[in-house]
A and B are shown apart, each in its own frame.
Chain A
Amino acid sequence: NAGVTQTPKFRILKIGQSMTLQCAQDMNHNYMYWYRQDPGMGLKLIYYSVGAGITDKGEVPNGYNVSRSTTEDFPLRLELAAPSQTSVYFCASSPGESYNSPLHFGNGTRLTVT
């Protein structure tokens, strides 16, 4: 199992450009999450999904969109990149809501918007 795979690892965007951060998991997990981590800070939840076709906002959803057409994939879309979106983005998955459902993280995507 590869676990949770994020691509790309690094990206530099100009203000106003758009991009999609990819996230895929091969563990057949129902729940998937996107977090951002600003320098020296903790992780903030952007969006999450409890299954294919179902997504919901987290703490900091503005400026982002997500979709979940399959169990495996959970892409994060930035439509009009702004400097405030410079951050490290982490994707995570877990089997479900109940007990024995730990989070599994990808290695992150470091995004710089200039």
Chain B
Amino acid sequence: GIQVEQSPPDLILQEGANSTLRCNFSDSVNNLQWFHQNPWGQLINLFYIPSGTKQNGRLSATTVATERYSLLYISSSQTTDSGVYFCAVRGGTNAGKSTFGDGTTLTVKP
């Protein structure tokens, strides 16, 4: 099946700093999403972005499907951005399954 790798595994920032999270995948995809898992364990959908670039406030994402990666940008980070960020993809030989990366744990310090 399709493999998903996220980097870095852990990231510690001071409030106000910018960051870039990366998601690499091993096959062509027809769905890609970025999620934020908050401290209560809820999975919050940030972006649905199988290709191209999207922006939502301080967050933006870019997927380059031909090169098999996606980037999530967080600007002017806030303590409420802390949590785990997951990339999930669907595609390859079994497009019915969605596969998650292991996530990036972000800690934003005040």
> Which A positions have Cβ atoms within 8 angstroms of B?
31, 33, 35, 41-45, 48, 50, 56, 58-59, 88, 90, 92, 94, 97-105, 107-108, 110
- Judge whether A58 and B97 touch: CB under 8 Å: yes
Q: How far is the CA of A59 from the CA of B86 in the complex (A)?
A: 18
- In the complex formed, the residue of A with least CB distance to B105 is A40
Q: How large is the interface on B (under 10, 10 to 19, 20 to 34, 35 or more residues)?
A: 20 to 34
Partner of A90, one of B43, B48, B90: B43
Within 8 A of A (CB), among B36-60: 41-43, 45, 48, 50
In the complex, 13 of the A-B residue pairs with CB atoms within 8 angstroms, ordered by the A residue number, are A35-B100, A42-B86, A44-B100, A59-B1, A94-B31, A97-B95, A99-B31, A101-B30, A101-B90, A102-B33, A103-B45, A103-B88, A103-B98
